[in-house]
Amino acid sequence: MTTRRPLKDFWIRTASAAAIGISFLSAIFFGGSVGLAALVAVVAALSTYELFGILRRERRLPNEVFGLAAVVAMPFAAATHGLAGLGAGFGALLVASLAWHLAFRQVRASDTAATVFGAAYVGFCLSHLVLIRQLDAGTELALATVASVWANDSFAYLVGSTLGRHKMAPRISPKKSWEGFAAGTLLTVAVWMLTGAVADVGLGAGSLAAVGAAASLAAVVGDLAESRLKREADVKDSGTLLPGHGGFLDRFDSMIVVSIVAYYALLAAGAR
């Protein structure tokens, strides 16, 4: 029974992830930067809405209008004006949030901070996937980013659930193990190296392996960070919209951090 349950959960998670994967594959291959930005905007808005709900349980009162408007705008700003556009979108959020703070005396610093943090954590970070799509060989690199997150999450969960013995962070995420992390890292690195083997992305195997290792570490950080936020607010899942994953933030916690880390790791490796 202990083995069947993880396997059942694994297949539920995999089916849900497959539906999401098809959406991202379609956007990456056929939507261009703007099409991918539209999908990122939807995911970011739903994830940020869930995050604001978590923060409200801790008596934070983020400005959801400003925060959600920013996370929708930032992917499109990245698609149309690149990194400068993304930075301008974040700057506009910061200025608007400060003006809101000044205009209403009942607004606390923690409310303003929650607004900016929520939108930056989800929208700003995830919008870097759009920037990856704009690089040379951006289609292949964006695909590798998404595929590596899926591979890391699925393989780490399967191995960790069945073979995991050494807990990584028991106070934050009791089910996460070092065995699962090692397995996820191996497959993540393999995905990036396979991308370089089947497509001309302009990067060597060593560089791609380094990007894969960075992406795997980022995936764990994203997962644990979201788990910590939920534990502080005493909630099990961020939402209920995705079978096997909980909410959108539960499903995309890794991709949020991997997107920004992979983008700058690719730049450091020589991608342009």
Number of domains in the chain: 2
CA distances from 211 to 84, 132, 223 (A): 23, 13, 18
Reported as a single tens digit per residue, the pLDDT across 237-265 is 888 777 666 799 998 999 999 999 999 99
| Domain boundary pick from 114, 134, 154 | 134
Mean predicted lDDT score pLDDT of the chain: 91
pLDDT (0 to 100) of residue 18: 78
pLDDT on residue 156: 84
Q: Are residues 22 and 153 in the same domain?
A: yes
Residues 46 and 152 in one domain: no
Q: What is the rounded CA–CA span in Å between residue 81 and residue 160?
A: 41
Between helix 32-57 and helix 248-269 the angle, nearest 10°, is 130
Say yes or no to pLDDT of 3 above 60. Answer: no
Cβ atoms within 10 Å of 105's Cβ, excluding its own: 7
Encode pLDDT of 16-39 as tens digits.
777 888 899 999 999 999 999 999
Of 263, 268, 190, 188, nearest in space to 223 by CA: 188
User: What are the two backbone dihedrals, phi and then psi, of residue 243, each rounded to the nearest 5 degrees?
Assistant: -55, 130
Residues 126 and 153 in one domain: no
Residues 104 and 169 in one domain: no
Specify whether 43 is located in the same domain as 162. Answer: no
Domain of residue 167 covers 1-30+137-272
* Residue 155 and residue 127 share a domain: no
Q: How far apart are CA 114 and CA 60, in angstroms?
A: 7
How sure is the predictor about 1, in pLDDT bands with cuts at 50, 70 and 90?
Answer: very low
Q: Is the domain of 21 the same as that of 154?
A: yes
Q: Answer yes or no: do 167 and 239 share one domain.
A: yes
Among the candidates 87, 114, 134, a domain finishes at 134
Last residue of a domain, one of 77, 105, 134: 134
The reported pTM is 0.91
If asked whether residues 17 and 144 sit together in one domain, one would say yes
Residues 36 and 50 in one domain: yes
Q: 155 with 189: CB under 8 angstroms?
A: no
Give the pLDDT score at 244: 61
Residues 96 and 143 in one domain: no
268: which residues sit within 8 A by CB, 6+ positions away? none
Report pLDDT for 243: 66
Which band of pLDDT confidence, cut at 50, 70 and 90, is reported for residue 48?
Answer: very high
* For residue 6, pLDDT beyond 80: no
**CA separation for the pair 236, 263 (Å, rounded):** 31
Say yes or no: 116 and 170 in one domain: no
User: Which pLDDT tens digit goes with each residue over 150-181?
Assistant: 899 888 878 877 886 788 888 888 778 888 88
Instruction: Among 62-76, 156-170, 222-236, 240-254, name the most confident range.
Output: 62-76
pLDDT: is 93 or 156 the higher one? 93
Buried b (16+ CB within 10 A) or exposed e, 130-154: bbbbbbebbbbbbbbbbbbbbbbbb
Query: Between these two residues, 177 and 41, which has the higher pLDDT value?
Result: 41
Helix (H, G, I), strand (E, B) or coil at 168: strand
What pLDDT sits at residue 4?
56
**Rounded Cα–Cα distance for residues 44 and 255 (Å):** 11
